[in-house]
Structure 1
Amino acid sequence: MSPEVGLAVTHRRYVPHAHAHYGGSLVDGAYSLGLFGDVATELCVRTDGDEGLFAGYEQVEFLAPLRAGDVVEATATLVRVGTRSRGVEFEARVVCRAAPERGPSAADVLDPPVLITRAKGTVVVPPVGDK
């Protein structure tokens, strides 16, 4: 297995109403960061055969709100390969959004999706002989 710069992993998830924490059905920004941890884990498994460990974020930007009833897509892209560290860029986008003004279960596909969170981080994986 050789880590390839440019490899991307994407997950999609419906945001349940139980996760709304603020008025207007807003969901806290940490929800996106949790999704980033999940896609980083799969990225490490695919590149290194190990779940890896998240070392930290260099940058996080919250650009737009996430709401209960949204379908959110989180993508991790490998941008740097070190001996044990991996540089990863993340984006979260809302691809579907609830439309409660039309009815309690109405929703729309967003075209284009709305970029809500962007981040850069580092994950670490075990040395090649330690797997």
Structure 2
Amino acid sequence: MTAPLPTPVLGETVTHRRYVPYSHAHYAGNLVDGAYSMGLFGDIATEMCIRTDADEGLFAGYSTVTFHEAVRAGDVLEVTCRLVRIGSRSRELELAVHVVGRGEPTEQQPGAARMLATPLLATTAVGTVVVPARTATT
């Protein structure tokens, strides 16, 4: 006998936090490429699929992706994923990356950093994941 599948709930939200290491900087000013945020979206969508369907799911595509602010090495990011549509085998997700902390190194204090009073919206997207068809269990 297998465990019953969880029931997806509109509005369910998953949140991750991640520190951006300096090894991910690709550009002047310690900028990180947009692919970094996209990778985080894949990770958080996977957790959402596990929570809602007991399966890792598969990212099918994005309908929108917008880069609003730069992500830099030394940032602390908060990534959110909200379930906004439930289909028979698909789930539509709203995704966002906010910068909540930022490294501010100086010559006197190379490890200086602070948490931001107001998070910066860095990246948003709307994506669709697919999950296995639900079957009745006995």
TM normalised by structure 1 equals 0.96
Q: Which residue number in structure 2 is paired with residue 122 of structure 1? A: 128
Cα displacement (A) at 1:110 = 0.6
Q: Does 2:16 match 1:6?
A: no
> Paired residue for 2:87?
82
User: For this pair of structures, how many residues does the alignment match?
Assistant: 131
* TM-score for the superposition, normalised by structure 2: 0.92
Determine helix, strand or coil for the equivalent of 2:26. coil
Over 2 Å off, 4+ runs: none
Hey, what's the Cα distance between the residues in 2 that align with 1:21 and 1:119?
22
Q: Who is 2:102 aligned against?
A: 97
- In the alignment, which of 51, 54, 61 is matched to residue 56 of structure 1? 61
CA deviation vs aligned residue, 1:50-92 (integer Å, no higher than 9, x gap): 0000000000000000000001111110000000000000000
The code of the aligned residue for 1:25 comes to N
1:119 Cα offset (Å): 0.3
The 1-side partners of 2:81 and 2:45 are apart by 6
Q: Which runs of 5+ in 1 are unaligned?
A: none
RMSD: 1.4
Whole-angstrom CA distance in 1 between matches of 2:62 and 2:42: 11
The structure that has the greater radius of gyration is 2
1:32 aligns with 2:37: yes
Percent identity at matched positions? 59
